[in-house]
Structure 1
């Protein structure tokens, strides 16, 4: 998906969703600027910051000279910023000019009475919003948590800000809406509409949650009619929601399933967006579907098959063939990487499922693509995906076989590949064997190594929850020849999945290059 942003000679302006930190804090915890820099294939420089839970406009410089100049404008308060926030408290006044001394004590930002003010904010009442109240904030300085602390001090704490006295909510209701400044003699003005939940907050929250999530993705990406993307990721504990073309696919991880009222709110959202809703109550991951595809559906559609696009690649999706419709969207950036790297390569896709990686490789000009999966049903589905993209499945290889047995046979035949994709399940069962990643990964790594050509590359991912990324790499590489390979990071996750965070993201993996 293409990012939506405003591009100028010296800077770019983006919309940052709530829930994404501004920048990387260590090797495994990346932020917004790293993600957008990767997509633009160009460095960007931070000149101001928004709190992780604050949404709205953010400006990045495109070079060091511009970064220095824009940083000075922010430091000298020559860039006017306007925010909006919600509170559940009735106002005593319509205007407040708040001044205080803000400092950090014991890892918390606080107002400290008795010291000279180092911060100033104008707070102006806007209007009621249901049972809540909308305020405008214009900071005259730029201290951390400034608006949040000043709202708290006036007894109008921000909704969703329990750290500073606010009532619980699904998000921090603070939005950076406007930026105004002059640079090189030219005036600039940028504005972002306030989120839907600020206009009509609903105590039941589910509808607000979906509306805000759609707003965030629409502001961040140029969404096209048939696109597929993650609508709701970590914003709500028990729900993950994807959009596949005209279908809203809801994964419900709650213990007892969604209530009738929650299902109704989801259906109303789907109707307003002209989407068909499918709600699946998910069982314990890793235990298999066991023929429960239909009994776990809380809402569905009459048709069982439809088509959707991802990065202009078409996929066949189904409601009756497992707990997923047939495409894991967190692999989007990895599929894009495979497509870019596949030209003239021999490509092997292990545990290929519906062969999304294989289709991407074929469209990228791979010389040969081999897809291996124990399920004949999934390989037939794979051929449907090839056909949907005008690719003749007869030109490519499909093996309905246990992947370990396939690799052993390939090793005996001295067959190698330039590019291998491997995304094994944590647990699997075939006619020939039972697969457990914690038990079988070492043998799998050895077999893959023997089938990977010199200078060849492996893209490896898994969702095994008991290992961190570093533990996965250690387990995979411990029996490989020392000094004979190089490890790299996978592409960062697309921002519809939030920030790339090794401690939060279920999918983990790496790129490996065989050096000799």
Structure 2
């Protein structure tokens, strides 16, 4: 710790579900939690980080490969970011040249943070919008949209009363197809440690049929899992 001049504190969080405990392992000065600060997530991009009192910190670092894939595939595209949380996917899409990104989440508090993230990155010039919707009950909203070239699906694997696992994922896929352009792409994300990447790919193939093109996006090399086949799964689907 003494050799790391830029480090002011080390926090360790035990995340046994459903409880979690944050401990201050070392600190140069007294700390009051939560710590809230802008964290760099790419050259020229940052987002609000909140550490210490909540399970969710404002950013999921294991999604790095997905962020950079979106940045590389967003130029001049209309993008729909579902379960958008604090809008990090949107930041990368706009940084990659997207002409429009619509962010949808059912939690107003995280949408406010997403708006702040866009403003602080100077990415709020009419190219992004934020909608509070219960996504699984918004089929008419999907059908009313101008088609999107890229739709990002990043739901929780399970959330009581909000998202009930694979049956709701299938509903999400069906809703999204109503809003997808004819030659569009869906980025399907799944963070369920009970399901392997091969099982996820098989389930998507069963749903879309053999004609669909499925591209598995490899996780960032610095993100390691106890079982690398069952960590975060990212598959780009071109129906």
Q: Normalising TM by the smaller chain, what interval?
A: 0.7 to 0.9
Match of 1:221 in 2: none
Output the aligned Cα RMSD: 2.6
Match of 1:283 in 2: 16
* Distance in 1 between residues matched to 2:2 and 2:205, nearest whole Å: 47
* Distance in 1 between residues matched to 2:87 and 2:75, nearest whole Å: 17
Which of 192, 213, 231 is equivalent to 1:486? 213
> Which SS does the other structure have where 1:305 is aligned?
strand
* Distance in 1 between residues matched to 2:35 and 2:126, nearest whole Å: 26
Distance 1:438 1:321, change over 3 A: farther
Of structures 1 and 2, the larger Rg is shown by 1
Distance 1:270 1:495, change over 3 A: farther
Q: CA deviation at 1:342?
A: 0.9
Q: CA deviation at 1:309?
A: 1.0
TM-score (norm 2): 0.85
| Count of residues in correspondence between the two structures | 232
Q: Is the 8 A contact 1:441 1:476 kept in 2?
A: no
Match of 2:199 in 1: 471
Q: CA deviation at 1:412?
A: 3.2
Match of 2:153 in 1: 422
**5+ residue gaps, structure 1:** 1-267
Distance 1:399 1:348, change over 3 A: same
Distance 1:321 1:410, change over 3 A: farther
Higher relative contact order (CA 8 A, sep 6+): 2
Q: CA deviation at 1:375?
A: 0.9
- Is 1:506 aligned to 2:231, yes or no? yes
> 1:34-433 counterparts in 2 under 5 A?
268=1, 274-284=7-17, 287=18, 296-299=21-24, 301-302=31-32, 304-312=35-43, 313-319=45-51, 322-392=54-124, 394-406=126-138, 408-413=139-144, 415-429=146-160, 433=161
* Distance in 2 between residues matched to 1:427 and 1:269, nearest whole Å: 41
Q: Is the 8 A contact 2:143 2:179 kept in 1?
A: no
TM-score (norm 1): 0.42
* Distance in 2 between residues matched to 1:469 and 1:493, nearest whole Å: 11
> Which SS does the other structure have where 1:479 is aligned?
helix
> Which SS does the other structure have where 1:436 is aligned?
coil
- Is 1:440 aligned to 2:172, yes or no? no
> Which SS does the other structure have where 2:56 is aligned?
coil
Q: CA deviation at 1:385?
A: 1.1
**5+ residue gaps, structure 2:** none
Q: Is the 8 A contact 1:418 1:452 kept in 2?
A: yes
* Distance in 2 between residues matched to 1:370 and 1:443, nearest whole Å: 20
